[in-house]
Amino acid sequence: MTLEAAGVSDAEESAYRILVTMGRASAHDFAVRAGLDTTDAEQILTALTAKGLASHTDAVPRLYRATPPDVALMPRLKQQADALDHARATATGLLEIYRDTMRRSDADQLIEVITGADALRQHLRRIQADTRDEMLWFCKAQYVAMPSGSNSEEFDALARGVRYRVLYEKAFFDDEGAVDNVIEGVRAGEVARAVPHLPLRLAVSDRAIAICPLVPGGPYGSPEEPTTALVRDSSLLAALVALFERYWDDAVPLHVDDSGTVSGTDGVVGADPLSATDRRLLSLLVAGVADKAIASQMGLSRRTVQRHIQQLMTIADAATRMQLAWQAARRGWV
């Protein structure tokens, strides 16, 4: 029997199935079809009626009719499904509380040691498959567990809306096929930047779990076994995320043009990306001067001033003017 999820017993389901096939029946007729005595038949029909699975006439003898399944069963099943979803959400919340409690008392819940390239590769694939919002990644030269171009999980995640922010060190682009693989990733939606050097390999999923080396293994699949840490929500994880963001701020965005040429792979910002006009405009902007006043002082149109500001925001990778001012101060532009 299959209707237990709707709160229907096996005996009730069997009786309901019979009544559905009979259309309308007296207790006596039902008893004959079901192989029951009349008293038992009346009891089971009364139970069906109480659960809304059947109805009866007021005439004597009563005639019973099955309630249509969509009316009798679907609301019950939806109610059970809603209750199951609520129970699942409650269980998930309790699991998070349990894990948080265990992490505070058991270091093994905070850091899991992964030994070997195969195990590392499996964990990297699994956390990407489980990522919902964002992956952060430090890509150093010379692979240890996952050769460049073999990370198909990234493309699956990008396709379902996960954001990838990936930092490459300059030497990474010397690896065979690395440039083509980066081009493919950027065109798929990866946001990529480059720096001259990265301090370690790192992957962070949803700012909730990270993988980073404890003891480096050999490059290019060397038999030397890498030893890696799986770090869960903790102060250490927060420090790794902060390290990523610090390098990200100083990195050079990678751009792929229509011809497939990548710029910015050396990870070095040009010596002076700003013109004299840009610097003067930026100093006025940081000082709080309004666009109209800047245009007047510099002999430019207001639209030209706004265009210059937008270009400066692009160079600084700033989303707002406040971020532009902060970047200008940090980079020594003003």
* Choice between 189 and 266, residue whose per-residue pLDDT is larger: 189
Helix (H, G, I), strand (E, B) or coil at 75: helix
**Residue 225 identity (one-letter amino acid):** E
Radius of gyration for the alpha carbons in the chain, expressed in angstroms and rounded: 33
Average pLDDT, the chain: 84
CA distances from 30 to 39, 48, 60, 333 (A): 11, 13, 15, 91
Helix (H, G, I), strand (E, B) or coil at 9: coil
Least confident of 213-222, 224-233, 301-310: 213-222
- pLDDT digits over 112-128, tens only? 888 888 888 999 999 99
| pLDDT, mean of residues 251-277 | 74
pLDDT at 24 over 90: no
Reported confidence tier of residue 103, pLDDT bands at 50, 70, 90: low
Percent of the chain with pLDDT over 90: 24
* Choice between 6 and 60, residue whose per-residue pLDDT is larger: 60
* Choice between 218 and 267, residue whose per-residue pLDDT is larger: 267
* Choice between 97 and 164, residue whose per-residue pLDDT is larger: 164
Helix (H, G, I), strand (E, B) or coil at 60: coil
Q: How high is the pLDDT of residue 189?
A: 93
Task: Determine the Cα–Cα distance for residues 173 and 167; give it in Å rounded to an integer.
Answer: 12
| Whether the Cβ atoms of residue 180 and residue 151 lie closer than 8 Å to each other | no
HEC profile of 221-284: CCCCCCEEEEEECCHHHHHHHHHHHHHHHHCEECEECCCCCEECCCCCCCCCCCCHHHHHHHHH
CA distances from 298 to 71, 291, 306, 324 (A): 76, 11, 13, 20
Phi, psi dihedrals of residue 198, rounded to the nearest 5°: -115, 145
Task: Determine the Cα–Cα distance for residues 103 and 222; give it in Å rounded to an integer.
Answer: 34
CA neighbor of 232 nearest in space, from 200, 199, 207: 207
Phi, psi dihedrals of residue 262, rounded to the nearest 5°: -105, 130
pLDDT at 162 over 60: yes
Q: How high is the pLDDT of residue 322?
A: 87
DSSP 154-174: HHHHHHTT-EEEEEEEGGGGG
Q: How high is the pLDDT of residue 256?
A: 81
Tokens of 278: 């840009």
Reported confidence tier of residue 222, pLDDT bands at 50, 70, 90: low
| pLDDT, mean of residues 296-309 | 89
Task: Determine the Cα–Cα distance for residues 175 and 197; give it in Å rounded to an integer.
Answer: 15
Task: Determine the Cα–Cα distance for residues 261 and 254; give it in Å rounded to an integer.
Answer: 10
Task: Determine the Cα–Cα distance for residues 177 and 180; give it in Å rounded to an integer.
Answer: 6
Phi, psi dihedrals of residue 66, rounded to the nearest 5°: -70, 135
CA neighbor of 212 nearest in space, from 234, 179, 192: 234
Q: How high is the pLDDT of residue 272?
A: 59
Q: How high is the pLDDT of residue 166?
A: 94
DSSP 302-332: HHHHHHHHHHHHHHHT-SSHHHHHHHHHHTT
| Whether the Cβ atoms of residue 123 and residue 114 lie closer than 8 Å to each other | yes
